[in-house]
Each structure stands twice: as structure tokens, then as C-alpha cells.
Chain A
């Protein structure tokens, strides 16, 4: 509220430090990333990565570390990543500018498209098109889940057969518990976290394939 863009704002000249990135520029850059990204997170992730490297907003190490932190906290990973980049650039206002850019234009388009759909959903042509789109959406969602699962499967596979099977069973159990209405989703999540933590703590990993030569 106290921040004004009046010309009386004093520009502090700090010779060794580069000029901070303008808030509008942050907003527009992330706005372009938002409206250019179609069909899931990986495209957006690559665009954000490219942009950070191009403008020197983060180096590779910091970017990877930020992404790792994003995995440990709830919500949409791309929003969390954008928060960390925005904060680095301009503190709180940078976070706000970056995320408004990422989300607001795209959310407006999403809202308008939904409004358009509700207006015209009774047209025979729209209904016929939707009969094709809806099953395809299920297929695309399955592919998204698979993309989420593949890195975990790879990690789990390297940890030995027993651990791999246990983790597959936890996925299947979570799906079944939901489909058969055994538990609420929240309890399923807590159970999955607890069981996995136990399994990964107490089930040993097989010894590494390369034998150690220092033993006699």
C-alpha cells in the first residue's frame, strides 16, 4: 500500500550491484510463460528454466536446489518455484508479480473458456466433440500420473525388489482404499506417508553391485 510509483521515489545508485529487475518485467515474463504453456507442467518447467538461465535470475545449482525444496512442501510445484524465483528477484513484491503473471492471465482464459463452454454445451456439435474429448482427458490424466510416477519408480527400483514391491502395493492400496470407500483421502495420505517411512527405514537396500575390494 505504501509503495507508490511516483517519480519522487529515489533511485539509489549502487555501482557494483546490478539494477534490480523491474516488477512489470517480472510480471510480463511470467505472464508470457503462463500463456505459452499448454498441456501440463513439464513445458512450463522448461520455459521457467530457460528464462532463469537467459536472464541470469538463478544459476543451475540454485535452480535445482529450489526445485528440490518445492518437492517437500504442498501445492502446485510450479507456483512454489515461481515464488522462490520472485522472492530472489524482488522480495515479497517480486513473488506477487511473478505469480500474478504466471496465474492471472491463464486463469482468466480458463474461466472464459469454461463460461463459453457452459453457454454452448447444448449445441449438438459441442456435445459430439465433448464425447471425444472426455475419454481423451482420462487418457491424458493417466499420462500425467505416469509422468509423476516414473521418477519414483526409477528411484524405487534402485532400492531393491522388496522396497519396489512395497511401494507399488502402497500405490495400489491407496487407490483401492479410495475406490472402495474404506478411508477418507486424508487418512489414506497419512497412512501412505507413515507406511512408506517405515518401509524405507526398516527394509534394507541390497548391497551395491560393485564389490568392495578392501575386505579380505
Chain B
């Protein structure tokens, strides 16, 4: 596996992303096309990212590990840490762009784009993760519980694991 290409794919995804899962559509497209990752690797990595502490963006560290072991997770972490440094450039120009409506309009467009792309990718991922009607129920229950903000995410996942153990073993 070409390490530079691996790093570039993760770096590019982070450069183009807004928000913690924004790199998902890009990684999904590129890594599947190369045959370096399976559909199930993405959901597994997102699941680990939800279970483990830290900003949700760290899910791609788990993906890096699944694709390339410890080296992969290190490269993924570096790729995640570099693009945010552009904030130093943006903050220098902020007083000049603060009142430019075009900046906000284009940024709004990027946010809309990333939401659509993430939904499109989740649709693909769902087709491998959601097989039975029970799975549909678990998905909707997790969605509703997360939106209600009554239970911490880790408890929702523990309940889902218990449901899996109960019905699938």
C-alpha cells in the first residue's frame, strides 16, 4: 500500500470537510474505489469513534487502523490535525472578510453540500448495516434517543449491543 497516497486521501478528506463526519463521504469514495477498505470498515470505525472519547472526528483514526494498522491510525491523526491550522490564515483575514456576504453564502453552500453528501454516504452504509426489520427498529430508536438528548450516546450504544446479544446470538 502506498503510504503517501494513503496520507493524501486522509488529508484531502480533512481539507474538504466541515464538521466531525465531513470527511466520511470523501474517504468512503476514495478508499472503496482503491479496494483498501470494505463497507463494514466505515461503520465499524464510526461505531468505535462513538464509543471512544474525544472529538467525533477521531473516528477516522479508527478507520486508519482498520485499513493499515497502528501506522494507519497515526497517519490519519496527522492528516486530521493539519488542515485546521488554516484557521490561523482565516483569522488573520477575518476582519476583512467579516462583512463580506459572499463568504457566508458560499460557506452555507459548503455546509448544505456536506450534509447532503453525508446523508448519501449513510444511505450506502445503511444498506450493509441494516438488513432486517429489527435493524430498522434499532436505527430509528437510536436516532430518536440521540435527538431527544435524554440518554448519553454511550448508553444508547450499550442498549444496542444488548439488543444484538439478545436477538442475534
Report which A residues bind B (CB closer than 8 A): 34-41, 44, 66, 69-80, 83-84, 87, 99, 102-107, 109-111, 113-115, 117-118, 124-125, 127-146, 148-149, 152, 155, 167, 170-179, 184-186, 188-189, 191-197, 200-201
Contact = CB atoms under 8 A, between A and B. Distances in A.
Given A35-B53, A40-B20, 18 more contacts: A69-B94, A71-B18, A73-B84, A75-B86, A77-B20, A79-B84, A105-B53, A106-B58, A109-B54, A128-B168, A132-B167, A134-B44, A137-B43, A145-B118, A167-B108, A170-B109, A174-B116, A192-B113
16 contacts: A41-B55, A72-B90, A73-B86, A110-B62, A111-B62, A132-B138, A132-B161, A133-B164, A135-B129, A135-B135, A139-B139, A140-B157, A171-B115, A174-B113, A193-B110, A194-B109
Interface in B12-47: 14-21, 25-26, 29, 40, 43-47
Given A44-B55, A171-B112, A131 B168 contact: yes
A191 B152 contact: no
Interface residues of B, number: 103
A143 B65 contact: no
B139 A135 contact: yes
A87 B80 CA distance: 18
